Each structure stands twice: as structure tokens, then as C-alpha cells.
Homo-oligomer: A and B are copies of this chain.
């Protein structure tokens, strides 16, 4: 399974690295990181650099493509060469996937029209602008499209994908290898569970950091 993970300046590192850790653990799966240009990209907080070994333009096909989220993907939504590359990869892929606000990029490429999809809980409604039906879920499978909720949800999605593609035994072995037996010490990981003031705080902070994406939700501010 030839797997390509798109990275870019301003991505959220865990969106990409969670699924990477799952995919790279599957025997025979080859994972490659690509970006607009070869070399370093910086994550959204700025304090970590990840290396893309090839520019995406050098990759003509993949069995599995993953688009992570992060504040930096606002500019990708209008990057026509990148969106055309995604459409081309999607034509030949077995799985086209995203984590967090990566689903907005799939949407901008026109890949979500009439499809059920999810993403970070703060950025579900903007999916409608791309003709998608937003769905609340840890991950949502619609045909070969597999979209995950925010950041950490990529781990769950990737294990699901491995189970679908190679079978539950391999997925269980990968899960055991990365000791994915989560026990969050708090229970505030979704707005349906978190105290209202915490939801308000995170919404305000995220909108302030990320005005480009939040304005997508408001058709008056295209």
C-alpha cells in the first residue's frame, strides 16, 4: 500500500503523525511525506519542523492519501495546483482520507460533493460550502472517502482503515504495538462532554487564531 501524507507549513503535527505511526507499522506499507516543496515545513505552533522527502508534484499516484489539518491549510483551499494534484491522486487511490480540518481541503478539491464527511468539531458546518453533509463522528467512511474528527481522531481512523484493508488481526497487532489503550485523565474531549465554559473558551481561542477557517462557516464572509 503506497501511502502519501501531505504536509505543509502550519499543519497540526499530530494529525499527520498519529496515522503515520499506525500505517508505518503495517508490514509492507510504504509511507512517504510530501509537501509543496521538498524539505522542512513548520507545524502550527512553530516549534517543530517535519521533513517532506519529495514535492507532491513528483508523486503521480498513491493507494492511500492523507491530508492533515491545521491553521496553515487555509491557503491550501485556494491552491489550484495542489487541489488538482489531489483530484488526480484521488482518481487512482484506494482510500482518500483526512484528519481534522484536512476535510476542508478535500472539499475544496471537489471530492466531498454529496458525500458524508467529518472533521474537527469546530469546523463541521463549513463542509456544507463544498457540498458535503457534515456528520458528527470519530471518523466517517463514505465509499473510499474516510474523514476523521479533530487531531487525535486520526489514530482511530487509521486503525479502522488498516482493519478494513488488511483485516482486524493486523489492526489489533498495530494497536498493541503502539499500546493504544487510551485512558484520558479528563473527559472533555468532545463538546458534548466538556463543560460549557471550556467549549466557549476553546471556540474563542480557535477563532482568534484561525479567522480564515472560521469565516468559511459564514456565507456572508466568503
| A residues with CB within 8 A of B | 12-14, 17-18, 20-21, 24-25, 30-33, 40, 43, 45, 47-51, 53, 100, 120-121, 138, 149-153, 155-156, 159-160, 163, 168-169, 171-173, 175-186, 188-191, 193-195, 197-199, 201-202, 205-206
Are A159 and B185 also in contact (CB < 8 A) when A169-B198, A198-B172, A201-B173 are? Answer: yes
**Alpha-carbon separation in the docked complex, A73 to B195 (Å):** 40
Do B202 and A183 touch (CB < 8 A)? no
Indicate which residue in B163, B180, B206 contacts A189 across the interface (CB closer than 8 Å). B180
Are A182 and B179 also in contact (CB < 8 A) when A48-B17, A172-B198 are? Answer: no
Residues of B within 8 A of A43 (CB): 24
Do B155 and A182 touch (CB < 8 A)? yes
Do B45 and A49 touch (CB < 8 A)? no
Pairs A–B under 8 Å by Cβ, sample size 11? A12-B21, A14-B178, A30-B47, A32-B47, A33-B48, A156-B183, A168-B186, A171-B186, A176-B189, A176-B191, A179-B189
**Alpha-carbon separation in the docked complex, A17 to B138 (Å):** 20
Do A31 and B47 touch (CB < 8 A)? yes
Residues of B within 8 A of A173 (CB): 188, 198, 201-202, 205
Do A163 and B186 touch (CB < 8 A)? yes
